[in-house]
Amino acid sequence: MDSDTLNSASYTTIAAWSLAIARALSVSNIEPKALFERVGLDLGALEAQPSGRVEIHKMTRLWQAAEQASASDAFGLTVGQYAFPIHFHSLGRLMMSCDSLAQAFEALPEYSALVSNSGQIRLQRTPQWLGFTISPLNGVEISELAIDAFFSSLMQQGKQMVGHGHFVRKVELMRSEPKSLQPWQDCFGCPVVINAVDNCMWMDRSVLEQTSLTKDPQLAESNELAVRQYLHNMQALSWRQKTSQGIHASLLNQEPTAAKIAQMYNISERSLGRYLQLEGTGFRELLKLKRQELAHHYLINTDMPISLLSDTLGYSSVSNFTRSFKSWRGMSPSQYRQVADSSA
């Protein structure tokens, strides 16, 4: 199992993001085709199928290459301006047909896998604000520029729907300190917090709940059906793969259970168990495999303390984690790390 295991084809983003990067590069007088080839992507093929999927590790390399070529750590904000709703299959049209921006943002978490399944999207709520939050999955590398671009694109989407951008009140980013914070402040027009505990764009609920200027209710139902069909086709993944992804997402902040994973896919726990049984596996087996996968990743690629890794993987104690790890690898986590370091 190598260090790219967590960046397998199971974690993808919609090809439209790569095309937004290409447009932003072209506007910046940077030829995108050669840059795409350098990271193993065919720009022509992506343009022919914008609703296709791109493996997340290739997208991360593309973001890195784009940042270097543009010599701008704020390049993601520029890309967000070229991520037009129409390019995100029917999701953009679905948002534009909502009665209000609040309704559009409430719908996004349910359909977020269309854009990317490499992070967890959720909403935080206070009486006055709605927080659109993106949490990266443990061990799946997402470029800081990708988060910037997503929030920037949501800003552009909101402006189209309500006619201004004053609905954003604060932006919190996990990203590292940029050379200058000014591009982010100019983009969002509000306070921006760097090195935050999560990526969150906080918005004024009173503004979000105003009737959209661009709503088209007649298209709402057909657009939703189109989005659901796309997700169904995309999720032609096996139940084994979908359950594994659900476990990965749940490990961010809670102990995964079969009931919680079943709820993610709107099925009963009994049905999930039956589907997995037909594929020759079960929930406990997949949880064990995901913990093995993540343990390997963090021990090989990070200096995370064993005690913190034990907590991250949902073990009640370090001794329980160590005992489980020995049954997998025949040695303790610390010994496994030492062996890996000596052979590097």
Three-state DSSP at 47 gives helix
Comparing CA positions, the residue from 207, 212, 175 lying closest to residue 192 is 175
> Which amino acid, residue 301?
N
Predicted confidence at residue 255, as pLDDT, reads 79
Query: Dihedral sign, CA of 199, 203, 208, 209?
Result: positive
Contact predicate 156/81, CB 8 Å? yes
Structural domains in the chain, CATH included, are 5-227 (3.90.1520.10), 237-343 (1.10.10.60)
pLDDT at 203: 92
What's residue 52's pLDDT? 80
pLDDT value at residue 2: 40
pLDDT tens for 58-76 read 999 999 999 999 999 999 9
pLDDT of residue 77: 95
Amino acid at 311: D
- Whole-prediction pTM value? 0.67
Radius of gyration of the chain (CA): 21
Higher pLDDT, residue 68 or 114: 68
Q: At 265, is the pLDDT very low, low, confident or very high (cuts 50, 70, 90)?
A: confident
Break the chain down into helix, strand, coil percent, rounded to 5: 60, 10, 30
Q: pLDDT digits over 279-313, tens only?
A: 899 999 999 988 888 888 888 878 889 998 888 88
Confirm if 49 and 9 have CB atoms less than 8 A apart: no
CB of 72 closer than 8 Å to CB of 145:
no
